[in-house]
Structure 1
Amino acid sequence: MDEIAVVGIDCAFPGATGTEAYWTLLMSGGDVIGPVPGQRWDPADFPGTPDSGGFLADADAFDADFFSVVPRDAAAMDPHHRLLLHCAWRALENSGRAPGELAGSDTGVFVGVMGGEWGRLTVGGHGRMTPQHGAGSSAGMAANRISYHFDFTGPSLAVDTACSSSLVAVHLAAGALRAGECDTALAGGVNVQLSPALGEVYAQMGLAARDGRCKPFGASADGIGRGDGVGLVVLRRLGDAIADGQRIYAVLRGSAVNQDGRSNGITAPNRWSQQRVIDAAYRRAGVAPADVRFLEAHGTGTALGDAIECAALGTVHGVERAEPCAIGSVKGNLGHTEGAAGIASLIKTALALHHGIVPASRYADQENPQLRLAARGLRLLKSPLRLPPGESVAGVSSFGMGGTNAHAVLATAPRTRGPGRRPARARGERTAGFGVFTLSADTPEALARNLAAQAEAVARRPRGRATGLCWSSNLVKTGLPYRFAVAARDSAGLTDELRAAAAGEGHEPHRPWRAPVVALLFTGQGAEFPGMTAGLYRDSHTYRQHLDEADKAIAPHLGLSVRELVLGGDERVLEPRYAHPASFAVGWALAATLGSLGVRPAGVLGHSAGEYAAAVHAGALELDEAARLVVRRAELMARLPDTGGMLAVGLGAEEIGRRRDEAGDAWRDVTLAVVNGPHDTVLSGPRDTLRGLAERFAAQGVRTRLLAAARAFHSPDVAPVAAELRTEPVACNRPVVPYASTRYGRLLGEEPLDAAYWAGQAERPVLFDDALGALVATAAPTHLIEVGPRPQLLPLAGRTGRVAGLDLLHPAHGPDAAGRELAELVAALYRGGLDPVWEALYAPEERVSEPLRPYEFATGHRFWDRQAGPGEPAAAPVTRPDDDPGAAGSEGDEPPDEVLAAVTAAVAEVGGHAREKVVRGARFYEDLGFDSVMIMQLKDRVEHRLPQAGEVSVQELLPALRSVGSLADFLSGLVMANTR
């Protein structure tokens, strides 16, 4: 039988919300039984039933806005459905996947739920039925709502086999996975005590514990104590889970379901059927009873049930073995969670296998001697059982009141090789890399709430590297509208950043409406320095790969390793012979790294020699061809006289021309080489002449800077180089990305990037300012990224006045730059709307899944508030149209008129929204959560409130349903037409 992996878990039980709290409760032997909350019912009104049980504190809390459920629907919805929606999201997160990524997939949903108590409580009166109550009280909707809200298309069904419902749901989910009906399945169950009705049934049958506590296999066992709970597991075929690198809690080796048939009463257990279902499960799992180290029994704590179950277990497991088989039941901690009982047991067992230890059994020190456990090869655990290394096998039983029995066989997860072994490094061993911790939420308030929760969770962890946490957050905590991202190396620094962001310090919530539009600026000559990008090479495996690739392309032409030259601190990197190839290698590798991370430029611009790398990333040159041309250009430039230089001047081109005309011989052999902006130019010429000009400008209050250039580039001195370049064959293509040419000062048109282009580009002025203007006008970027060893073009671009409002980014800020700068750039792009290829940011050995705090849903809205007996309505009455013929005004963006007021009142009534939320600009589907049923209800309400508009067909109404205002405008037109 194909094995099934348990890859995700979430649960909420009384006093234990989440798997961590649940495990703590189990290991501490906790007891969560307490008095009946006043919200549920008054025990005094129901004598003979226990006045205590296990109750969830927040069963009425539901983050309706998160799931786009309107208040009216939320109030009519069974609390079981609401709990399952929260649990499903968190379970999928726990499986290491962002829930939104599964939208449209064949994921299946299998939910165990008992009875239909909510429907009996809410729609008993004839006049109270609404479509919302009809859907809200359906047991089948418990699964269907999850499939609907998450957009799953696989099998979706609710299972009611009484107390075995949720384990049967797991069995069915595993079967669907094996049959190929789905690739991922959510399975589990839920139980909320909505009234004392079932407790009364237990009492009348003599099955209710007087103190509301189950005492499985204990001498004081006197019946059932009830409990709330919800739990879901995420299941996948084992091979798929391993292939995707998911954490595996345990493996479901096999399971079986059967029925008691005609036994001693439909509610009485059948020992022989229990034995058969256990034997069948072991047979399917390929294990022998002697292989089973511990059993999570059904264990209700009733005299008859415990006796029959122990007899069945003893018959199957009482074989020759090294030590007795351990048994226990979580009902001793929680009470009997009925529809969630099987999943409570299965989650306990999966966690025990995951942690390698089985919690002690409550009441083990008060063992019922009549059960003869030792004689049957069974034992209760008085202290936790440490599991040995290797595989351990466990069984889980769950029996339904009507005779449907289930048994599942779980085993330790296999030891799998991690996502990658640490590879040998070309130079230096990294102690800690940088990652990007991401978080997303549906509102700014939710983002702050989750930031605070994550901060406290990270703070409780042992201090250490944060890359695993960052990697996990990239897989799980993305996909919602409001985004947060921060670069992090260690958990202590990450905690500080999260706390500051939660407090609103320095981190604004971002809601990008589209992906960022990125333009790349490729740095030219003059930015190089010994050891440039050495820190990034050490920290980024992707940059290492690309710089190595550039080195491989350049080395045959240069005669040495440009990588060693760049990283080794070699001063030759400043010489023209080597500076151009080195800068090209760095620029190309940085841009290629960004490409691997998912950055697709909308346009490129290269400054001077930076055009070669820009041409490669625009698709105009192949890497090998560009490498050959760059090396050839550098060789030729190195032959020029070294008496030339370049001077940066804080004046515009026109002012430079005027002063040159006035100065005459003082400017002899000096050329305007670069126009970087309205107040940024560069002169090229003899170094001595440039020094004299610098002194002259300084006396006039003009800023200047003598550049480190060793030649008079972009001047008549370069004519011999240009002549040689015109004879150089060039294999080029038309750019596939808009290419802003700094030779022409505009976007490249039909001109090829051939030998003539590169010759002219070497000797003609660099028209950066004009090229930048053309790039910004055409590509309309939101982000400018300079790719080079340090920022050189971004300050210039900022002074042009052309990039106001754009984000200016750089992956390497200079000599001290390492992995942080690249991570910060990726964080900024993520906040701006990019969904990066996260694998490119982390080395294989850093892609380790680590548990993160589950999503923190809002708890401020409560949709179930019961203060009286079971016969009273649980949801607030809904106003009908004839109850309120007058319509209140809207508190929208514009003063309400009669029609807008009527529309606002009708929308608020149908959706149950507060009037202040129904503003003119509110959209029906995105903001107000309307669906087709509500649209029909709205049509009736509007026609009732605005009879002067006449009857409106659905076909007429639908185009107007863009927003509240558009509907009001449409109806206003009808009213005016009908009253003329």
Structure 2
Amino acid sequence: MRPPAGYALLGYAVRFPGAADVDEFWRLLRDGRDAVSEVPADRWDADEFFDPDPDAPGKMVARRAGFIDDVAGFDASFFGVSTREAEFMDPQHRLMLETTWSAVEHAGIAPSALAGTQTGVFMGLSTHEFGGMLIRLCSLEDIDFYSGTGISGAAGAGRISYRLGLQGPALVVDTACSSSLVAIHQACQALNAGDCDLALVGGVNVILTPIPMVNFSRARMLAPDGRCKTFDAAADGYVRGEGCGVVVLKRIDDAMRDGDRIRAIIRGSAVNSDGASGGLTVPNGVAQQRVITEALRRAGVAPGEVDYLEAHGTGTSLGDPIEVRAVGAVFGDGRDHNRPLLIGSVKTNIGHLEAAAGIAGVIKVALALEHEVLPQHLHFSRPSPHIPWDRLPVRVLDRATPWARTARPRVAGVSAFGFSGTNAHVILEEPPVTDSAAAIPAGGGHWILPLSARTPESLAQLASRYRDWLEAHPDAALADVCGTAGSARSHFEHRAALVVDSRGRARRLLRALREDRPAPGLVRGVCGDRPKTAWLFGGQGCQFPGMAKALFDTEPVFRETVARCAGVLDRVLTRPLLDVLFDARPGSEKALNDTAFAQPALFAVAMGLARLWQSWGIEPDAVLGHSVGQYAAACVAGVLGIDDGARLIAERGRLFGQLPAGGRMLAVFADADRVEEYAAGFPGLSVAAYNGASTVLSGPADELQQVVTWCASVASAPSSLEAAVRCEWLDTSHAFHSALIDPALDEFERFADNFEYSSPRLVLVCNRTGEGLGRQARLDAQYWRRHARQPVRFADSVGTLAQIGCTVLMELQ
């Protein structure tokens, strides 16, 4: 099997006749339904404009077309669009905005995450009926700024880039019926050239006035019965349709590197023109052969490898025979006569979407690849006598046909031919098989399902949609649903978090949210401005055997980070760090409490937690570490790389672990001044930490024991009205931050001088001074020497976080 090449199709979204989303579109295709309907009353009076005579002035021969529901509907406030601007926006622009948003989410990307990225927008748009309506219905006094941007084709793509903050190319393609397929071609070219790293590609068409239908009737283009009978003997014209489809494209190598879900691969594409054919709107079979041949060449695909062709197939007695002959001439080369090319056209289901026709065909093929079924081609009962079927290696899909994976990649072509002569062809291939099941654990446990919306009413509606979706998809993994809701959705002001452990519980909590009822495990709130967040990394003493083992087993990012730290230290430590960290045998805590292992173990776990939160899109505004926790804080702030941080903390642990035993640390829960006053009588003692509620003393064990005796004796004094002072021994191997570690400081400073230190990229609170260090601060080996010896001013450091406005403090340990 050849290696993947081309462009990855990551996601898609649609608003098509009979289908408000991709799930409904697939059901429509699977069930073989025709979504064409009579002209709705909100467009025009079908009786007034109907006349079976194509020469009747101002009349049309067809009463039917493919219409979407609520073409005027638009959630303007969601996109920050004023009422006045929305009134003047072409409904095509509105559809493109909404469908693009849905396509990005379908690709597993939070739309808000694209702001500032090299993402391009390529949209096919060729009709401007809304502009004609404005001219007829508005007076000169009604004209303002929005009446210009609302009908400009360029603004349709530009508004998407503006609203999402995209910085790649933004352009509209108008080649009539081939517009959206040419847009795909242009997007692939831009991805290849590096003009963008992600491309949002689509097409749109809306039917608002009877004028084009009258025009096409006079041109004898429309099927009078409103049925698209492509390739059939009864083919007598095309059926107009409206809608919007958008896909998300990315370079295949980038998509595989980033672990994206790939739904299909665009192997190659080509565009050309009919040139001097039999007439401006007359198809040119030779040009069609050439464009298909070129697309195959660029894709590196032999004609005989293609299983299926999504034909342009408009249902005209002139165009269909020309296309099938061209198809047979190209795809018959080298084809096994027992394996004819299967052909069909989505136009028999939803009509001809004109500028959106090509994208509709591409999405149909992507869905067929995913569901492993080629849908039935409708309205085909008597093969057209104008097509020499017996001499062409093609077969119309008059019934749904399985399309399962085999040893050979499944390949399809999609054609779109513009009535002004621009032809386009795209080759699609099935995505590579990947094992994504291990990405999110599917076993037991609890997950958070986060939902958000612009308004409370919208949040309730969202809960209802999630509940319906869970019921309609019983095989979907709850962990995947929660993961997507958290990392692949933009988050808005009105929020809810549901703690779930089963699908049943999820449905119950979603119902409670929809009905605005309280329930255990359901938390609601309103988020205004983004809170300022600080991450806190703990110090030695909080380690225990098996620490973070469950995270290591279930979270790939955490596992990779901890394993990376352990790998860096393989030749530094006397035992593999992972063996010490996860050894759960009796007595194993002795090794982990050895500071030579405890310090690098705490660092590895802290960095694993930091990278895990960052992979979920959570970043701190400030970081703070308590004693050895400052090393992880410095790495998150960008002062050190993770590998250098692991080496530095490991050497610190090794040097301090070689010091003689006999020192201990004691937390005294009393006013710091009082503790300092009493400790001053013991020359070997040092204050190791000012924690606020407690003050930690460090030094010789015998002197600390006298402090313990003093603490207990306070309440027993004859004139005392005080209770005994509480104190607690800390579980450490040495007397850190005291004179007992002085013998190791010179060597430690020399080792620390081997590294390069960058300025912090975010606020790093120095736990030695309690002050914030900004981008101008320079850390060096002497900084880490002083940090090891001088007391931790944790209370002052937390006070600094409060002063700079941090309202959310996350402890990572």
Which amino acid is 1:332 matched to? T
Alignment of 1:382-421 (within 5 A): 382-387=398-403, 389=406, 390-402=408-420, 404-413=421-430, 415=432
Instruction: Please tell me the residue identity of whatever aligns with 2:317.
Output: A
Once the two structures are TM-superposed, the CA of residue 30 in structure 1 deviates from its matched residue by: 1.3
Confirm whether residue 606 of structure 1 aligns to residue 626 of structure 2: yes
The yes-or-no answer on 1:201 pairing with 2:201 is no
Residue type matched to 1:28 in 2?
A: D
Q: C-alpha distance in 2, partners of 1:30/1:152?
A: 38
- The AA in structure 2 aligned to 1:809 is M
* Contact 1:271–1:312 (CA under 8 A) maintained in structure 2: yes
Report the Cα distance in structure 2 between the residues aligned to 1:373 and 1:610, rounded to whole angstroms: 76
How far is the alpha carbon of 1:309 from its aligned partner? 3.6
d(CA) in 1 for partners of 2:469, 2:525: 21
Please tell me whether the aligned partners of residues 14 and 20 of structure 2 are also in contact (alpha carbons under 8 angstroms).
yes
For the structure 1 residues 38 and 654, does the alpha-carbon distance in structure 2 shift closer, same or farther, using more than 3 Å as the test?
same
Conserved? CA contact 1:645–1:686, under 8 Å: no
Q: Give me the CA root mean square deviation.
A: 5.0
**Distance change >3 Å, CA 30–CA 782, structure 1 → 2:** farther
Question: Which residue matches 1:250?
Answer: 265
Q: Distance in 1 between matches of 2:712 and 2:765?
A: 38
Match of residue 527 from structure 2: 510
Matches within 5 A, 1:613-762: 624=647, 626-631=649-654, 633=656, 636=659, 638-639=661-662, 652=671, 680=694, 684-685=704-705, 689=709, 693=713, 702=723, 707=728, 721=740, 730-731=749-750
Partner of 2:339: 323
Contact in 2 for aligned 1:530/1:571 (Cα 8 Å): no
Distance change in 2, residues 1:776/1:325 (3 Å): same
Q: Deviations over 1:419-468 (max 9, x none)?
A: 8999xxxxxx9967988766665566656654554454355444575565
Identity in percent? 31
- 1:923 alignment partner in structure 2: none
1:14 aligns with 2:17: yes
Report if the CA contact (8 A) 2:692-2:794 is conserved. no
Residue 705 of structure 2 aligns with an amino acid whose one-letter code is G
On the 8 A contact 2:263/2:366 being kept in 1, the answer is no
> Which residue of the partner structure matches residue 56 of structure 2?
none
Cα deviation, residue 82, structure 1: 1.3
User: Letter of the aligned partner of 1:777 in structure 2?
Assistant: T
Select between 481-490 and 129-138 the one with higher mean Cα deviation. 481-490
> Do 2:452 and 2:494's aligned partners in 1 also have CA atoms closer than 8 Å?
yes
Tell me the residue number matched to 2:57: none
Q: Does 1:377 align with 2:378?
A: no
Instruction: Report the Cα distance in structure 2 between the residues aligned to 1:178 and 1:630, rounded to whole angstroms.
Output: 50
Aligned to 1:229: 243
Bigger mean CA deviation after superposition, 686-695 or 112-121: 686-695
Distance in 1 of aligned mates of 2:634 and 2:766: 10
Match of residue 803 from structure 2:
780
Separation in 2, partners of 1:20, 1:654:
69
Aligned residue identity for 1:567: F
SS at match of 1:300: coil
Q: Residue 589 of structure 1 corresponds to which residue in structure 2?
A: 604
The alignment's TM-score, normalised by the length of structure 1, stands at 0.65
Amino acid corresponding to residue 294 of structure 1 in structure 2 = Y
Would the alpha carbon gap of residues 811 and 349 (structure 1) be closer, same or farther in structure 2, given more than 3 Å must change? same
Distance in 2 (alpha carbons) for counterparts of 1:271 and 1:182: 34
Give 1 or 2 for the bigger CA radius of gyration.
1
Report the CA distance between 1:196 and its aligned residue.
1.8
Deviation at 1:225, TM superposition (A): 2.6
Please give the alpha-carbon distance, in whole angstroms, between the structure 1 residues aligned to 2:172 and 2:633.
58
How far apart in 1 are the matches of 2:20 and 2:736?
73
1:345 corresponds to: 361
User: What is the aligned counterpart of 1:568 among 563, 577, 583?
Assistant: 583
3-state SS of the aligned residue for 2:412?
strand
One-letter amino acid matched to 1:412: E
Distance 1:161 1:751 in 2: 62
C-alpha contact (below 8 Å) 1:685/1:712 kept by paired residues? no
Partner Cα distance (1:73, 1:510) in 2 = 27
Contact 2:295 2:426 survives alignment (8 Å) = yes
Give, as a single letter, the amino acid of the residue that structure 2 aligns with 1:776. G
1:336 aligns with 2:352: yes
Aligned CA distance change for structure 1 residues 126 and 417 (closer, same or farther; 3 Å): same
Q: Following superposition of structure 1 onto structure 2, how do residues 925-940 of structure 1 map, counting pairs within 5 Å? A: none
1:893-908, aligned counterparts within 5 Å?
none
1:29 deviation in Å?
A: 0.5
1:174 and 1:751 mapped to 2: Cα distance?
48
Kindly indicate whether the alpha-carbon contact (under 8 Å) linking 2:125 and 2:173 is maintained by their aligned counterparts in 1.
Answer: yes
Aligned to 2:177: 163
| Counterpart-to-counterpart distance in 1, 2:292 and 2:446 | 50
CA distance in structure 2 between the partners assigned to 1:722 and 1:311 by the alignment? 88
Asked if structure 2 preserves the Cα contact closer than 8 Å seen for 1:274 and 1:312, the reply is: yes
Q: How does 1:831-846 map to 2 (within 5 A)?
A: none
Pairwise CA distance, 1:691: 10
Work out whether 1:112 is the aligned partner of 2:124.
Answer: yes
CA contact (8 A) 2:93 2:156 kept: yes
1:218 to 212, 226, 232: 232
Report the 3-state secondary structure (helix = DSSP H, G, I; strand = E; otherwise coil) of the residue aligned with 2:159: helix
Superposition deviation, residue 86 in structure 1: 1.6
- Alpha carbons of structure 1 residues 72 and 571: separation in structure 2 relative to 1, 3 Å: same
Match of 1:58 in 2: 70
Alignment map for 1:767-806 (pairs within 5 Å): 771-777=794-800, 780=803, 806=807
The one-letter amino acid of 2:599's match is F
Inter-partner Cα distance in structure 1 for 2:525 and 2:694: 34
Change (3 A) 1:410 1:480: farther
**CA separation in 1, counterparts of 2:667 and 2:296?**
84
What is the match of residue 77 of structure 1?
A: 89
Q: Shift of the alpha carbon at 1:27?
A: 1.2
Query: What CA distance in whole angstroms lies between the structure 2 residues aligned with 1:689 and 1:108?
Result: 72
Give a deviation string over 1:350-395, Cα, whole Å, max 9, x none: 3323443311111234544564534533322232222352223333
Alpha-carbon separation, structure 2, partners of 1:507 and 1:328: 49
Structure 1 residue 57, shift from structure 2 partner: 0.5
Change in 2 beyond 3 A, CA 1:306/1:382: same
Post-superposition offset of 1:469? 4.9
Q: In structure 1, how many angstroms separate the alpha carbons of the residues matched to 2:635 and 2:161?
A: 46
Q: Residues 711 and 685 (structure 1 numbering): CA distance in 2 closer, same or farther, change over 3 Å?
A: farther
Counterpart Cα distance in 1 of 2:630 and 2:211: 79
Letter in structure 1 aligned against 2:19:
A
Identify unmatched segments of 5+ residues in structure 2: 52-59, 698-703
Q: Distance in 1 between matches of 2:398 and 2:43?
A: 35
Secondary structure of 1:137's aligned partner: coil
Which is bigger in relative contact order (C-alpha 8 A, separation at least 6)? 1
Match of 2:378 in 1: 362
Question: Please, which runs of 5 or more residues in structure 1 have no aligned partner?
Answer: 423-428, 662-666, 784-805, 813-980
3-state secondary structure, aligned to 2:217:
helix
CA-CA distance at 1:122 after TM superposition: 1.0
Relative to structure 1, the CA distance from residue 776 to residue 571 in structure 2 (aligned partners, 3 Å threshold; closer, same or farther) is farther
Question: Is the CA contact (8 Å cut-off) linking 1:166 and 1:189 kept in structure 2?
Answer: yes
Stretch of structure 1 that moved more, 626-635 or 613-622: 613-622
The answer to which of 16-25 and 437-446 deviates more is 437-446
* 1:148 Cα offset (Å): 3.9
Map 1:5-44 → 2, pairs under 5 A = 5-44=8-47
Displacement of 1:330 in angstroms is 1.2
Q: Write the distance in 1 (CA, Å) between the matches of 2:302 and 2:475.
A: 44
Distance in 2, matches of 1:170 and 1:612, equals: 48
Q: Deviations over 1:176-210 (max 9, x none)?
A: 44555544433332111101222223333444333
Q: Which amino acid aligns with 2:66?
A: G
Residue 16 of structure 1 aligns to a residue whose secondary structure is coil
